[in-house]
Amino acid sequence: MNRRDVLARMAVAGVLGAGLGSGCLDASEPEPGAGAGDTNTETETNDSTGGATDDATETGDTTDIAEPVWSHDVGGTIDTVAHGTVFGREHFDDEDGDGGVFGLDVETGNQKWTYGQSGGYTMFTSFTVADALYFGFGTDAIGDGSGELYALEFDGTERWTRDVGSVYGRPIVDGDEDVVYAGSDDGVVRAFDTNDGTIRWRTDDLTGDHPAELTVVGVTDAVLVATGQLVALDPADGSVLWRYGDPDDRIRDATVVDGVAYLTDRDGLAAVAVDDGDERWRVDFDHNRWIQGIEAGRVFVEHQYDIHAFALEDGDELWTVSNTDRVAIDFHDDRTYIGTDQLSALEAEDGSERWSVPIDEDEGGGGGEDENEDDPIQSIQVVTDGESTSDGDDHSIFVQTDDTGLSRVDPDGEITWTATVDGRISNVVVDGDSAFVGSRDGIYSFSLDSS
């Protein structure tokens, strides 16, 4: 069985690749909800009720066009910024790289180290950053047993590696217990000591006659594993506590928040209690549904060309935005941001529009060839950056326009900063006063300080 045939998108609350302390926008693997959309959006309510460097130039309003502080000539995806280092993964088809993982100096962009290599049919997972870097490696064919789990020190040296079979989801670390959990394509979940890689326990095959990707999606009072079913394991010994769903099914998304797992499967959206596996509520959909986020007491789901907001408590549908056609979406507190050919801020409570602003390709500094030139917004990401606006908000919205352009929008809808890079943008990570951009052709650092 080919991995691409059964690839399931697992979204875990607070993950977003490198989102621990950093904002991360990732367009390296297009997903439902990651593209541009139809401008004819309609909200239905089911309730009665660009900073730049010193070299930046002005565009004639308040928007600054930024030049990079530094650039690195090997393209890739950035996972996180920590310990004075930009950590990420090289694109395997870059002629100057090996598809390995890397660490760059945060101030200069100089390469500190690289490790490993990958190709067209092998891949590294995103990182978990704890007391070390933890990540997996796998091949494109489920069940071939080829793959490893890695623990690297922050200087790129090996702490330990283990042969476990292909790992497709990033490992989950419980720092209080010094344990890292990972699932692999042999249907087994393993728990390793983070210090030396000693195995603490391993399960039997959890997939049986139903081979599928096996991904650890959360650790609370149980280790939650998504495969054909949602399976809860005892963290102490790996024994099965409960199972939810049909083993012939496929968990498409699983997000754990406050002791409840919200998931989509073949039949719809469900909320499952972590302590006992009981279904709290379910909403039926026919096909093609994806959890886009959980915020402000709501779970947001993309279904075909609509965005639905459901109450976390009971699954009641509160409002719908129709005719979005692969909308870009992200959230912050009581706001929902939606990108089509314009960026709109909606009230999470009822879906009413707070403001909208057109985002022209030129705003993002683009202008290269783009297969989506009529729908310039490719993806959006909200990051907390400490800047207050008129209503006290402290976040910004980063908007990718065409393949190579990026705009920063404040919570009032004003475009304050733009930048452009060579090569299609893979993702953006914001750390402090800097935005780090990964693209097909390089890694870039931009200053957000426009003073």
Residues 11/324, Cβ–Cβ less than 8 Å = no
Q: What percent of the chain has pLDDT over 70?
A: 75
Looking at residue 335, which CATH number applies to its domain?
2.130.10.10
CA gap 393, 336 in Å, rounded: 14
pLDDT tens digit string along 144-169? 667 899 999 999 999 999 999 889 88
CA gap 407, 376 in Å, rounded: 11
- Of the two residues 78 and 36, the one the predictor is more confident about is 78
User: Is the Cα dihedral 391, 394, 400, 406 positive or negative?
Assistant: positive
Residues 421/414, Cβ–Cβ less than 8 Å = no
Helix or strand or coil: residue 364? helix
For residues 55-66, one letter each, b for 16 or more C-beta atoms within 10 angstroms of the residue's C-beta and e for the rest, the string is: ebeeeeeebbbb
Query: What residues does 148 pair with on adjacent strands?
Result: 137, 163
- The candidate with the shortest Cα–Cα distance to 152, out of 141, 136, 166, 139, is 136
Domains of the chain: total? 1
- Of the two residues 431 and 15, the one the predictor is more confident about is 431
CA gap 282, 263 in Å, rounded: 10
| Amino acid letter for position 406 | L
pLDDT tens digit string along 244-277? 998 888 887 899 999 999 999 988 999 999 999 9
Average predicted confidence (pLDDT) for the chain: 80
CA gap 342, 356 in Å, rounded: 7
**Cα angle 103, 106, 110; round to 5:** 60
**Confidence band, pLDDT 50/70/90 cuts, at residue 341:** confident
* 291: containing domain: 3-447
DSSP string, 54-85: TT-EE-SSSPEEP--SEEESS-EEEEEEETTE
Task: Round the CA-based radius of gyration of the chain to a whole number and report it.
Answer: 21
Query: What residues does 173 pair with on adjacent strands?
Result: 180
